[in-house]
């Protein structure tokens, strides 16, 4: 296996143009190295991109927030702009593995690895994230809900690098959260992860917009439009939440794996959704601080 280190985005793009599918990008390496050591991947060339500083960091301008692909989970969980504008993402990033994983693992690596359990995917889906992918041919933008095609399968072409992720900040009268059920408190991927973003009317009473997304409930992280529609117009009453939970169960195909059976994952949904709705409504009304 060959190893090259890229210092700029231009360098990454030109290596990918030259080598194509034989090159594997190495950001924090917390997925790549595990998969390599397990024999699941056998890259011919590893391209180390971790030190390309222009691909890391958070920018806020013109009503959008841009997150560099190499931004680590630790930065996401601590960054004041992320905590104010996409608090569900900060909450999710703080639950990716343990401290060491958060210190080196990146948001771009989490998305491009496309695990069904990727923790940053649900909060980014509810924030209408759009991914910028760059190759020698130029840059294209792909909405996150069209990026995941299946387990470890994305719309990224082999000659493309993910450079940044643009998200829509939380509007006023809105609250969001990311709730994760795992076997242990730390170092464990999600059995179920649920992100919710609810917008309330000016009186803080009725839900005017609802966004929900899950991980570990299908071969890829998903938005839940049917369940969202059932919450809009409600006041978060138990009947509306129960109907939305039924819709989640009907429209997802939970995975069966060593961590949990599909039936157990389904059983978690009603309580998880009820708690997410309760938290979002309290946060939207200012009755409770966002995650901190």
Ligand X SMILES: Cc1cc2nc3c(=O)[nH]c(=O)nc-3n(C[C@H](O)[C@H](O)[C@H](O)COP(=O)(O)OP(=O)(O)OC[C@H]3O[C@@H](n4cnc5c(N)ncnc54)[C@H](O)[C@@H]3O)c2cc1C
Inter-residue contact 199 to 171 (CB < 8 Å): yes
Which helix (H) or strand (E) segment holds residue 61: the answer is strand 58-61
- 37 by Cβ neighbours in 10 Å (0-12 / 13-18 / 19+) ranks as exposed
Dig out the tokens for 214 from the structure. Answer: 């899950």
Specify the DSSP element, H or E, that contains 27.
none
CB of 9 or CB of 234, closer to ligand X: 9
Smallest distance, ligand X to C-beta of residue 32, A: 4
- Taking the least distance from each CB to ligand X, the nearer of 181 and 198 is 181
**Those residues with Cβ within 8 angstroms of residue 282's Cβ, 6 or more apart along the chain or in another chain:** 175, 288
Closest approach of Cβ 7 to ligand X, in Å? 15
Instruction: Report the residue number, 128 or 188, with the smaller CB distance to ligand X.
Output: 188
**Number of residues that make up the chain:** 292
Whichever of 105 and 123 has its CB closer to ligand X, that residue is: 105
> Which distant-in-sequence residues (6+ apart) come within 8 Å of 162 by Cβ?
69, 108, 111, 112, 131, 132, 133, 156
CB of 191 to ligand X, least distance (A): 11
Minimum CB–partner distance for residue 226 and ligand X (Å): 25
The distance from CA 260 to its chain's CA centroid, rounded to whole angstroms, is 21
- The residue nearest ligand X at its CB is 109
Which residues lie near ligand X (CB under 6 A)? Answer: 24-32, 34, 69, 96-97, 101, 105-106, 108-110, 112-113, 117-119, 156, 161-162, 187-189
Question: Six-digit token pair at 198?
Answer: 């609810």
Query: Residue 27 or residue 273: which is nearer to ligand X going by CB?
Result: 27
Name the minimum Å distance from CB 170 to ligand X.
22
Look-up: residue for tokens 């309760």? 278
Q: Which is nearer to ligand X, 34 or 237 (CB)?
A: 34
Q: Which is nearer to ligand X, 151 or 235 (CB)?
A: 151
CB 163 within 8 A of CB 59: no
The residue whose two tokens read 């958070």 is: 58
- Smallest distance, Å, CB 106 to ligand X? 3
C-alpha distances in Å from residue 268, one per residue of 88, 116, 203: 19, 17, 31
- Closest contact distance (angstroms) between CB of 31 and ligand X is 3
């Amino acid at each position: 296996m060959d190893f090259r280190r890229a210092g700029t985005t231009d360098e990454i793009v030109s290596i990918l143009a030259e080598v194509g599918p034989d090159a594997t990008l190495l950001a924090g390496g917390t997925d790549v190295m595990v998969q390599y050591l397990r024999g699941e991947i056998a890259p011919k060339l590893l391209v180390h991109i971790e030190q390309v500083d222009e691909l890391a960091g958070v920018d806020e301008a013109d009503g959008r927030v841009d997150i560099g692909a190499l931004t680590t989970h630790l930065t996401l969980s601590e960054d004041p702009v992320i905590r104010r504008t996409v608090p569900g993402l900060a909450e999710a990033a703080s639950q990716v593995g343990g401290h060491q994983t958060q210190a080196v693992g990146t948001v771009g690596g989490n998305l491009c690895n496309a695990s069904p359990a990727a923790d940053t995917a649900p909060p980014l889906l509810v924030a209408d994230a759009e991914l910028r992918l760059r190759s020698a041919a130029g840059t294209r933008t792909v909405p996150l809900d069209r990026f995941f095609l299946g387990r470890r399968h994305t719309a990224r072409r082999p000659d493309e690098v993910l450079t940044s992720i643009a998200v829509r900040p939380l509007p006023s009268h809105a609250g969001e959260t990311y709730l994760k059920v795992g076997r242990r408190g730390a170092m464990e991927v999600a059995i179920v992860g649920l992100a919710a973003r609810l917008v309330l009317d000016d009186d803080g009473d009725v839900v005017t917009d609802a966004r929900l997304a899950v991980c570990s409930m299908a071969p890829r992280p998903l938005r839940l439009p049917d369940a969202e529609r059932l919450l809009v117009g409600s006041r978060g009453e138990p009947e509306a939440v129960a109907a939305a939970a039924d819709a989640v169960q009907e429209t997802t195909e939970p995975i069966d794996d060593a961590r949990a059976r599909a039936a157990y994952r389904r059983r978690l949904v009603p309580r998880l959704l009820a708690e997410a709705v309760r938290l979002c409504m309290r946060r939207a009304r200012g009755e409770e601080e966002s995650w901190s």
